[in-house]
């Protein structure tokens, strides 16, 4: 004879396992923008404001490395060239500040994020 309490327990356990969504790993890249020019230091806030709302941008860090803005993005969602264009659009035309994508050890290729 089967124990009704045990059958109920396994049914609840099984339904709980089916209801738990799988955690999908997202791959991220780091894009480094290099800023050069006498007016750049006054433009960081406007560049951060232009980059932050872009779809796929997870984090914008203007503080870790002098004369750089580090941007963590979801792979395949936004291209580095799109970030560069947005940063350049944020600069007033009369400002002496050049923004370029930096290819170096600061820029990281795809990696899995671990919680």
The predicted-structure confidence for 28-60, as pLDDT tens digits, reads as follows 999 999 999 999 999 999 999 999 999 999 999
Kindly give the interhelix angle for 44-51 and 80-89, rounded to the nearest 10 degrees: 130
Question: What residues does 102 pair with on adjacent strands?
Answer: 32
Q: Domains of the chain, with CATH numbers?
A: 27-110 (3.30.70.100)
pLDDT digits (tens, 9 = 90+) for 84-105: 999 999 999 889 999 999 986 5
Q: Once rounded to an integer, what is the mean pLDDT over residues 56-67?
A: 96
CB contact set of 17 (below 8 Å; sequence gap of 6+): none
The whole-number pLDDT of residue 22 equals 44
């Amino acid at each position: 004879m089967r124990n009704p309490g045990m059958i109920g327990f396994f049914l609840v356990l099984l339904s709980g396992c089916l209801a738990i969504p799988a955690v999908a790993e997202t791959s991220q890249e780091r894009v480094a923008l290099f800023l050069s020019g006498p007016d750049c230091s006054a433009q960081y806030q406007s560049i951060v404001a232009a980059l932050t709302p872009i779809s796929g941008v997870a984090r914008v860090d203007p503080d870790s490395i002098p004369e750089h803005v580090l941007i963590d993005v979801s792979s395949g969602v936004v291209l580095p060239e799109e970030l560069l264009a947005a940063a350049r659009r944020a600069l007033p035309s009369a400002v002496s500040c050049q923004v370029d994508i930096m290819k170096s050890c600061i820029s990281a290729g795809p990696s899995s994020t671990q919680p």
